[in-house]
Structure 1
Amino acid sequence: MTAYATIADLEARFPSELTLLAADETTGLRDDVRIGHALSDSSIEIRAILAARYSAAELAALDAGSLEVLRVYCADMTLYRVALSFARSSEAIKERYDQAVKRLEAIAAGKGALSTTGGTSGGPAGGEQLPNDVGQNEVVVVGPERVFTRERLGRI
């Protein structure tokens, strides 16, 4: 599984913060290995939160807009993990992390949605496939064939 954000995304979003937070204690240089581990851990956490609503196949088939949303959340979560790793956390960084987790949990609870390239989004977690023409907020009831029909009982 790939990460939802890259070091380049973090550099673009937090150029000075990343350098200050991820500076190695002995050399003073940015430690990209630890940043990479934080990116991986954040992506794993995102998948774990969204697994309540999305299957692994759906998460692998997310469209560009949904991936951009996850990139933002992953960047905030990664920055927090980097700050913790180097013991340089602040209240603002923790608040951004908490908000990202809260938004992801809301998506997993159905208060938001991610869309896939296949046209469906947020299907059942049990792996059932819904027809492609069913909208996100429509109810689909699937049940066994009726046992007692007029044809089977005869005319009354």
Structure 2
Amino acid sequence: MAAPETFATLQDLETRYPAELITLAADESTGLRDDARIEAVLRDVTVEARAILLARYSRADLDRLDDEARDVLRVYAIAMALYRVALSFSRSSERLKEGYDNAVKALQGIAAGKGKLGLIGDSSAAEPLPPGSDGANNGNVLVESAERQFTRERLRGM
């Protein structure tokens, strides 16, 4: 079975972080960027992200992500890859570690149902309308929130 496509590519890293990539991924002996190690990290990051998402999505689902979902995963994969590349070359930093941790937490949140990835052919991607709603909001933003805790009536007795 062929390996799944990576969520981020070397080109994605080059486009977004060209200077950091050169600094983080320079071979210890030659000083040249080690693209083979970067590609290995990108594969590892994809495996890690897929493992987290398998708590909610099937392998088949992850193979039919829509473009928007792939864009979201690309952002997380890039953050994870930068940290892992830096770690691979013993050039890690707190900022990169924080980016990695935030990406993993976001993926765990998606896996826990706090977000959703769009899938090609998924008709449930759109949120259902509330009962009794016709979908029209006349240009107003609708917000649901908890009841106000501090009202004039409640504050009078204080």
TM-score scaled to structure 1, two decimals? 0.77
Q: Deviations over 1:70-120 (max 9, x none)?
A: 001001101111000000000000000000000000000000000101115
Whether 1:118 aligns to 2:121 is yes
Give the length in aligned residue pairs.
126
The residue aligned with 2:132 is: none
Whether 1:104 aligns to 2:107 is yes
1:101 aligns to what SS in structure 2? helix
Letter of the 2:8 counterpart: A
The residue aligned with 1:126 is: none
Letter of the 1:26 counterpart: S
2:28 and 2:108 map into 1 onto residues whose CA distance is 34
The residue aligned with 1:41 is: 44
TM-score scaled to structure 2, two decimals? 0.76
What residue ranges of structure 2 are gaps of 5+ in the alignment? 130-158
The residue aligned with 1:85 is: 88
1:90 and 1:16 map into 2 onto residues whose CA distance is 15
Q: In the TM superposition, what are the counterparts of 1:26-65 in structure 2 within 5 Å?
A: 26-65=29-68
1:76 and 1:22 map into 2 onto residues whose CA distance is 15
What residue ranges of structure 1 are gaps of 5+ in the alignment? 121-132, 139-156
Whether 1:4 aligns to 2:11 is no
1:89 aligns to what SS in structure 2? coil
Extract structure 1 runs of 4+ deviating beyond 2 A: 133-138
Q: CA deviation at 1:2?
A: 1.2
